[in-house]
Structure 1
Amino acid sequence: MSKIYVLDTNVLLQDPRSIFSFEDNEVVIPAVVLEEVDSKKRYMDEIGRNARQVSKLIDNMRETGKLHEKIPLENGGVLRIELNHRSFHQLQDIFVEKTNDNRILAVAKNLSLEEEEKENGRPVILVSKDALVRVKADALGLQAEDFLSDRVVEVDHIYTGLIDLYINNDLLDRFYEKGELNVTELTNHPFYPNQFIVMKDSLGGSASAIGVVDSTGKKVKKLIFNHEHIWGIRSRNAQQTMAFELLLRKDIPLVTLIGKAGTGKTLLALAAGLMQTEDLGEYKKLLVARPIVPVGKDLGFLPGEKEEKLRPWMQPIYDNLEYLFNTKKPGELDAILAGMGSIEVEALTYIRGRSIPEQFIIIDEAQNLTKHEVKTILTRVGEKSKIVLMGDPEQIDHPYLDEYNNGLTYVVEKFKEQKIAGHIRLVKGERSGLAQLAADLL
């Protein structure tokens, strides 16, 4: 049986092409949703861009027919703008205020009542990213769903970049001797290029080894950078060792690091970037950037020149640089950076239109990027550059993103089969015992 889906504004602002995600069913957009979209199209951010895209998409559909009637969609469904069924009669005793959310609920409720009176009435489902709207819908006896088509991956299936395998001790000995094994000797399970394998003794012995799948996906080889100090930093756990392997290899120009606060993502990336830029000269510049998304209430406009305005947003980067350069006095780090000239700390606001060749690029807090923004960043990367995207998908400050539809998760899932990309999830916190306990308990 076909269904009627009533879309909330946040669904369209999250994914402008969401109207094509409901197969051969009828998609209804309440008129108040168009008003809300119209109020957002002047924004100069991702929400504004999506609002403008929705407007153009619906405007182009006027050539197919009248919007208040059923317009055929390319996926076999139909779309219409709902101008009627706005009566508040069914809601006035429950939700008194005529807010935009309640107007959308009124449309869905009246459509549902109309369908119930028909002999072959169709179910009406309200689709919203707003949990409270779904709760209200349930209170009214309406079916309500979250919009999940924008999710890159299902819950608990995010790629970790490593796998544990229990193998015979003979294979472990041969791996130590030859430095490699064929994947078919370990298991019939397929592996992704640059995926790490922690091999352990199947009989319970203490012997173990870490290997990485080569670009062909057919062999497991020893790590190249296993016991090195990088700019005074040494890995403290297996995942950090794997991260250094990805960060230091020239044949992997895209690296993604995921981990909770305190797992060392930023410090490891900066150390690897400094060594390859300053010591080895493999890159001309180290570029560090992060999206400007506040935690809590925004501070508003900040005084000073561009560098002074950016300083509060970029302070986490400077904290790590102070640790790496072992600075003690105020202003000492600024003097060092000014003297070196090869380290650039930027906001992602200024990246559009740039081409960035021969640079080691670090994008911090990438979980706050949308799919469109992360595409914009990756398409700026020039020849002989390496880019590192890192963040914690569980700590998102963007209003329309979650753990499963953000730009960082998007890149991890889309590039996991590519030989030019590598990924690892850092698990153990190394900042302090308190930080690790807070990350686990809170």
Structure 2
Amino acid sequence: MTARKKSTAKIFILDTNVILHDHKCLDNFEDNDLILPITVLEELDKFKKGSDQINFQAREFVRIMDKLAGEQLFSEGVPLGKDKGRLFIATGKPFPTVMEESFSDKTPDHRILSIALFIHEKFKERTVILISKDINLRMKAKSLGLKTEDYENDKVKNIEILYKGVETFDDFDPEVIDLLYKTGAIPRAKFPMNPADTPANQYFILRNNNQSVLIWCDHFTDTIRRVEKHTAFGIEPRNAEQTFSLNALLNPDIKLVSLSGKAGTGKTLLALAAALQQNKMYKQILLARPIVPLSNRDIGFLPGDVKEKIGPYMLPLFDNLSVIKNRFGAQSKEINVIEDMQKRDELLITPLAYIRGRSLSDAFFIVDEAQNLTPHEVKTIITRAGEGTKIIFTGDVHQIDSPYLDMQSNGLAYLTDKMKGQDIFAHVNLIKGERSYLAELASNLL
């Protein structure tokens, strides 16, 4: 690598997990130079085969590298485009004494650290930063005096002010509350708030002493409407947030819905009930969730065939279906509808990986545990939506199983932050657990 760059331009060294998180990451470092340790290419080779999202990311990045390939990658680097820096591949470097004393094993992470230390010493006049989504590797880098950062291109800036979708106002004008009950709606311009500050499909709880009303901002008619409680396929909302959720789920004009909240708040159950309630509007109802194996071990370690391996991961979705079935008698019309849909694959519960690559038309698509998806995965899913499709993402940003995602970088938080105010998007953050008093107590105290 040459020292042609001015000292104000930084040098970023990329860890493997950054690429597996976003295969287009090379475009996001402005005019700074990038270094790809040779160890990263070795690790990517292990991820090229498979149907999971990380395998897709690895393959796509390898294709990008193929277009950039050339001997200059190891010496002069290759330009990444106008107003961007250059990309270099750094070969392995000997372990310095400080690393020999600290780390006995020459693991891939430690080999990346040795390259980062070499670059840091060679270009003292420039800022060298190791980019990794691995917290432990970042801690090791800091112990060696290296600058290190998380990959933050797709992070929500301030999770504390993440859009909730619901606001509550006490001591509200009682005349407005009465008017909403009498007429059901008022022009958005006459609502006692600045209409410009009221996002499309925003929900409100208005209170004044013993009076209260639930309302939402209807962008399509430019009105503030009262939200009435509706039952969906035997499931009745038990609180205001659940009422708002069903309003969004049953509204055919809202094509994208995200529901967040802790376990037991009814996110997936409400989505499934709304889907069944509208089964004649859609050709297929799909429920999917990403498989995030415990202890980060692949499901190949589990015994049995494919169905037996993935079965335990799909159980929560089947449990929600059982809750709905239990609302009806064994010979009821509703049970027959569900069983007929399952026989015809019109109601399908499946791992998310099995959906990838499909174009979904006239489908009601529920993606559970969306907090375990990357922003890129969420984008990929939504861009598969064809005409007549509605997509629901549910999850809890406080319960992330993926080792390289957090509350700011997960796909559910990113989606909510970016889509706020769009006319076909609605979000509701559910607060109160309705599974049982025991479950709610444990959620709050343990």
Q: TM-score, normalised by structure 1?
A: 0.86
Distance 2:146 2:309 in 1: 48
User: Quick one: which amino acid aligns to residue 108 of structure 1?
Assistant: A
TM-superposed deviation, 1:222:
1.1
Q: How does 1:261-276 map to 2 (within 5 A)?
A: 261-276=263-278
Distance 1:322 1:214 in 2: 34
Distance 2:360 2:65 in 1: 36
TM-superposed deviation, 1:144:
1.6
TM-superposed deviation, 1:417:
2.9
- Shift in alpha-carbon separation, 1:209–1:133, aligned structure 2, 3 A: same
TM-superposed deviation, 1:156:
1.9
* 1:38 has 2:45 as partner: yes
What root-mean-square deviation, in Å, do the aligned CA atoms of Structure 1 and Structure 2 show?
3.1
Which residue in 1 is equivalent to 2:244? 242
Confirm or deny: 8 A CA contact 2:230 2:243 kept in the other structure. Answer: no
Confirm or deny: 8 A CA contact 2:371 2:400 kept in the other structure. Answer: yes
Distance 1:175 1:273 in 2: 29
* 1:324 has 2:324 as partner: yes
Counterpart selection for 2:186 from 175, 181, 185? 181
User: Quick one: which amino acid aligns to residue 147 of structure 1?
Assistant: Y
* 1:77 has 2:76 as partner: no
Distance 1:115 1:210 in 2: 61
Distance 1:70 1:198 in 2: 58
When the two structures are aligned, how many residues end up with a matched partner?
A: 428
Distance 2:362 2:41 in 1: 45
Distance 2:184 2:119 in 1: 67
Cα deviation, 1:382-401, whole Å, max 9, x if unaligned, reads 43333322122222223333
Cα deviation, 1:57-98, whole Å, max 9, x if unaligned, reads 223223694443233332432222223654433422222222
Confirm or deny: 8 A CA contact 2:12 2:32 kept in the other structure. Answer: yes
Which residue in 2 is equivalent to 1:199? 206
User: Quick one: which amino acid aligns to residue 260 of structure 1?
Assistant: K
Which residue in 1 is equivalent to 2:315? 315
User: Residue 399 of structure 1 aligns to a residue in which SS?
Assistant: coil
- Shift in alpha-carbon separation, 1:58–1:346, aligned structure 2, 3 A: closer
Distance 1:345 1:33 in 2: 36
Distance 1:92 1:135 in 2: 17
Q: TM-score, normalised by structure 2?
A: 0.85
Distance 2:258 2:215 in 1: 18
Counterpart selection for 1:384 from 378, 388, 394? 388
TM-superposed deviation, 1:319:
1.8
Confirm or deny: 8 A CA contact 1:153 1:413 kept in the other structure. Answer: no
Distance 2:436 2:340 in 1: 32
User: Quick one: which amino acid aligns to residue 42 of structure 1?
Assistant: K
Distance 2:166 2:428 in 1: 7
Distance 1:295 1:254 in 2: 30
- Shift in alpha-carbon separation, 1:314–1:154, aligned structure 2, 3 A: same
TM-superposed deviation, 1:261:
0.5
Which residue in 2 is equivalent to 1:170? 175
* 1:10 has 2:14 as partner: no
- Shift in alpha-carbon separation, 1:434–1:94, aligned structure 2, 3 A: same
Counterpart selection for 1:101 from 79, 95, 109? 109
TM-superposed deviation, 1:130:
1.1
- Shift in alpha-carbon separation, 1:213–1:326, aligned structure 2, 3 A: same
- Shift in alpha-carbon separation, 1:52–1:67, aligned structure 2, 3 A: farther
Cα deviation, 1:114-149, whole Å, max 9, x if unaligned, reads 334xxxx12222221111111112211222211111
Which residue in 1 is equivalent to 2:100? 92
Counterpart selection for 1:115 from 123, 126, 138? 123
Which residue in 2 is equivalent to 1:25? 32
Distance 1:370 1:264 in 2: 23
Higher helix share: 2
Distance 1:401 1:346 in 2: 23
Which residue in 1 is equivalent to 2:130? 126
TM-superposed deviation, 1:257:
1.1
Distance 2:425 2:181 in 1: 26
User: Residue 232 of structure 1 aligns to a residue in which SS?
Assistant: coil
The range that moved more, 393-402 or 4-13, is 393-402
Distance 1:311 1:34 in 2: 34
